Every structure is written in structure tokens, then in C-alpha cells.
Amino acid sequence: MPSSVFFLILIIGTLHHWIGYKLILSEKALRRLKPKRLFGWLCIKTVLTNMWHFSTACWFGFAAIIFVFTALENPSKEITLFVTLSVFSFSGWLCSCSQDHKLIYWGVFLVIASISFIVAKH
């Protein structure tokens, strides 16, 4: 049962990422937005992109934590935090290497990874 939950969450994360890029974050879909406040269209696009990437990383992080709970009988706090550290470090590294590295979400991922590392060490 828990392994099927892991695969289901992995599939949901993959679909979340794919649907976001193909349908929601495409230029055609973003042009339909008519923002009247803040900094206009660029702000809406940046916020949507950041939140979409953050939530995609959270899906994969949740799947990794479920995997650790299914693979180990009673994982410690350090192991769970190490999994969180690994997922967000990898996500932050991947985002910083992409063509959209000028956006801020890669820094958020690395901050979460750093906090996980500090908490795991103490």
C-alpha cells in the first residue's frame, strides 16, 4: 500500500509539472491574464512560475519522504530531513542551471535545503 502511494504521488508530481508547462505557464495561456494591479503581466508570470516550480518540488519531496517511510521501518528525524535536503538541493541546482536561472525560486529551494541541513545537524 505505501509503495503504491509513492508511485501515485510521483505520477501526480510528473503530471503537475507537465500540465503546468504545456497548459498553464505557456505564453498563450499567460497572455489571457489581464492584471490590473501590482507590476502587471511580468509580475503575474513570475509569481505563477515560481509557485508552480515550488509546488512541483514539493510533490517530488513528498514522494521521496513517502519512499523513505516505506523503505525503512522507522526512519529517524535526520533521515527524513536528509531526504528533504536532497530533494530541495537537487531542485535548486537544476533550477539554477536552467535558462530561467534569473528567477528567484532556485534560491528558495536552496534556503529550504540549508534549513533542513542545519536542523539535521543539531
What is the CB neighbour count within 10 angstroms for residue 2? 10
| pLDDT score of 1 more than 60 | no
Which pLDDT value is given to residue 106? 66
C-alpha cell belonging to residue 29: 495561456
**For the ranges 8-12, 66-70, 96-100, 109-113, which has the lowest average pLDDT?**
96-100
Structurally, the chain folds into a number of domains equal to 1
Nearest residue to 5 via CA among 66, 58, 71: 66
Residue-wise pLDDT tens digits, 42-100: 667 777 777 777 777 777 777 777 777 777 777 777 777 777 777 777 777 766 666 65
pLDDT of 103: 57
More confident residue, 74 or 39: 74
For residue 41, what pLDDT is reported?
Answer: 65
What share of the chain in percent tops pLDDT 90?
Answer: 0
Return mean pLDDT, the chain: 73
**104 exposure class (CB count in 10 Å sphere: 0-12, 13-18, 19+):** exposed
pTM of the model: 0.57
Domain of 117, in residue numbers: 2-121
> Which residue type is seen at 100?
D
Q: Is residue 21 very low, low, confident or very high in pLDDT (cuts 50, 70, 90)?
A: confident
Report d(CA 101, CA 51) in Å as an integer.
15
